[in-house]
């Protein structure tokens, strides 16, 4: 007799051998007993790294729990999820990306809440927290202190944009499928088509987390959004049609929640320069964008959480006939006038993230001293002698790694443990220059390489590489 499960977890996989085991272990280690309750479906989307061997390992270790599919060609994340759904037998279903994690209490809490509220909701969701990434809080996080049912007729701004954060009744999920022509926001369409059935969903308290990893390379489900033509053209049209048509079907109108969700997607694109598009494609994109924008009531545009007040007003202005490109040019001019304020704000946040990663590595026994020693960097210079630069100097002060000098345009204003030079000074020879600045590394490195013959490396990149 075929084994029954409480939840089926489908993981689409493409070249994520570095992270896959950690992802799988986050499922095996759930407080909801894995062997008794969880079916794990691994769909290898024609990986050419060691991902397939990892899948086979877990199929061998847990033959009753693990299903393994390997495609004969790369078919994309939507096809992988659809294939996984055909094997799913759990009462509930979740689509987990292969480089992400769930907190260990997630499935037990989700199943419990779904069971308690079976007649009212079809899915539950959770907040997102990023790791190995450049930001901390997702803009749509609700940070709730208790599990609740969100009524989107009353709280239409509490939208969900990430399908993998949702645990769904399988009998409902099976009535839908992922659009295999769509390569981004496809999970958003899938989850929200289901949410539109009832205009409500469960939201778990903030102690349950979906840990999202924004990697520097692509995986089956971590796409380079905003960097391909489809994102601006057919993908945007498919996103709108998928939500709009389902809203008409389920609600008889373009519901407030559906309008706000589409407005949110437009906000993600509005100030994007869309440099991958040629002029004719940009005109096509603007036509698509404006056609959709005109379907959105002003009040939903003016309440967007993912753009600032000026951008909201600019979107409304475009809706009523102001040329989109001229509006964006005007916005850019205003933005440039206040650029130093934004840079200061961004730098503070980025410095915090870098320091957080630094402290985490130190706790793991991974030190910058060890990194420099392993690369034979005995004498170094530090570019950027503000918070991060001075922290680096202090960490190395009692080690075998000698900081010969710092480089900073404000040399005369700063006090430090080492001499500080400017780019106008002659730079003595060192083994490497470490750039502590979190912005404009390429420009800084290019300028330094015209002044000194040694490697130039980014402190942020070094810390990231040490995590691997």
State the Cα–Cα distance between residues 100 and 284, nearest whole angstrom. Answer: 35
State the Cα–Cα distance between residues 176 and 318, nearest whole angstrom. Answer: 35
Are 108 and 30 within 8 A, CB to CB? yes
Give φ, ψ of 354 to 5 degrees.
-65, -45
Give φ, ψ of 309 to 5 degrees.
-60, -40
Fold of domain 353-467: Rossmann fold (3.40.50)
Reduced to 3 states (helix: H, G, I; strand: E, B; else coil), residue 128 is strand
The per-residue pLDDT string of the chain (468 residues; one tens digit each, 9 = 90 and over) reads: 578 999 999 999 999 999 999 999 999 999 999 999 999 999 999 999 999 999 999 999 999 999 999 999 999 999 999 999 999 999 999 999 999 999 999 999 999 999 999 999 999 999 998 876 444 578 899 999 999 999 999 999 999 999 999 999 999 999 999 999 998 899 999 999 999 999 999 999 999 999 987 554 444 444 444 468 888 999 999 999 999 999 999 999 999 999 999 999 999 988 776 778 888 998 999 999 999 999 999 999 989 998 887 788 788 888 887 766 665 665 566 555 555 444 444 455 556 677 777 877 877 888 899 999 999 999 999 999 877 888 888 888 888 999 999 999 887 777 778 899 999 999 999 999 999 987 778 888 889 988 999 999 999 888 888 876
Residue 185 gets the label, from left (phi > 0), alpha (psi -120 to 50) or beta, of: left
Identify the helix (H) or strand (E) that includes residue 441.
helix 441-449
How distant, in Å, are the alpha carbons of 26, 327, 418 from that of 20? 10, 44, 44
The per-residue pLDDT for 226 is: 44
Are 35 and 41 within 8 A, CB to CB? no
Does 3.30.365.10 match the CATH number of domain 7-213?
Answer: no
Give φ, ψ of 41 to 5 degrees.
-115, 110
The per-residue pLDDT for 1 is: 57
State the Cα–Cα distance between residues 401 and 172, nearest whole angstrom. Answer: 60
Give me the residue spans of the domains in the chain: 7-213, 229-339, 353-467
- The whole-angstrom distance between residue 46's C-alpha and the CA centroid of its chain comes to 23
The per-residue pLDDT for 123 is: 98
Domains 7-213 and 353-467 share a fold: no
The per-residue pLDDT for 223 is: 40
State the Cα–Cα distance between residues 165 and 168, nearest whole angstrom. Answer: 10
The per-residue DSSP string of 144-199 comes to -SS-EEEETTT-TT-----GGG-EEEHHHHTT----TT--SSHHHHHHHHHHHHHT
The per-residue pLDDT for 179 is: 96
């Amino acid at each position: 007799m075929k084994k029954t499960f409480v939840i089926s977890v489908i993981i689409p996989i493409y070249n994520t051998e570095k992270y896959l085991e950690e992802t799988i272990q986050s499922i095996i280690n759930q407080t909801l007993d894995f062997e008794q309750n969880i079916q794990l479906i691994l769909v290898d989307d024609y990986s050419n790294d060691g991902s397939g061997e990892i899948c086979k390992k877990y199929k061998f270790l847990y033959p009753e729990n693990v299903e393994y599919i390997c495609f004969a060609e790369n078919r994309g994340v939507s096809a992988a999820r659809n294939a996984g759904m055909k094997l799913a037998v759990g009462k509930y279903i979740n689509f987990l990306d292969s480089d992400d994690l769930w907190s260990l209490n997630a499935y037990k809490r989700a199943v419990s809440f779904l069971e308690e509220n079976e007649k009212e909701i079809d899915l539950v969701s959770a907040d997102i927290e990023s790791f190995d990434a450049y930001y901390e809080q997702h803009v749509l996080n609700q940070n709730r202190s208790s599990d609740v049912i969100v009524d989107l007729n009353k709280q239409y701004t509490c939208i969900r944009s990430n399908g993998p954060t949702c645990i769904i009744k399988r009998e409902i999920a099976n009535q839908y499928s992922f659009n295999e022509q769509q390569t981004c926001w496809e999970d958003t369409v899938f989850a929200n088509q289901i949410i539109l059935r009832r205009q409500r969903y469960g939201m778990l308290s903030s102690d349950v987390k979906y840990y999202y990893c924004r990697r520097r390379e692509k995986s089956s489900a971590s796409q380079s959004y905003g960097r391909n033509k489809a994102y601006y053209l057919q993908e945007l049209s498919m996103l709108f049609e998928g939500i709009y048509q389902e809203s008409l079907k389920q609600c008889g109108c373009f519901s407030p929640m559906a309008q706000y969700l589409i407005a949110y997607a437009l906000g993600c694109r509005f100030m994007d320069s869309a440099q991958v598009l040629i002029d004719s494609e940009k005109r096509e994109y603007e036509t698509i964008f404006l056609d959709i924008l005109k379907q959105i009531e002003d009040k939903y545009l003016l309440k967007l959480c993912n753009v600032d007040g000026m951008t909201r007003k600019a979107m409304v202005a475009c809706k009523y006939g102001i040329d989109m490109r001229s509006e964006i040019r005007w916005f850019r001019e205003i933005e440039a006038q206040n650029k130093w304020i934004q840079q200061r704000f961004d730098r503070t946040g980025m410095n915090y993230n870098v320091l957080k990663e630094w402290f985490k590595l130190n706790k793991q026994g991974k030190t910058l001293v060890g990194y420099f020693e392993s690369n034979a960097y005995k004498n170094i210079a530090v570019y950027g002698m503000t918070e991060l630069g001075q922290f680096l100097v202090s960490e190395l002060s009692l080690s075998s790694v000698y900081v010969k000098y710092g480089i900073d345009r404000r040399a005369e204003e700063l006090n430090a443990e080492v001499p500080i030079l400017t780019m106008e000074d002659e730079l003595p020879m060192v083994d490497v220059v470490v750039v502590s600045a979190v912005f404009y590394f390429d420009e800084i490195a290019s300028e330094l390489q015209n002044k000194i013959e040694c490697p130039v490396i980014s402190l942020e990149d070094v810390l990231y590489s040490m995590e691997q």
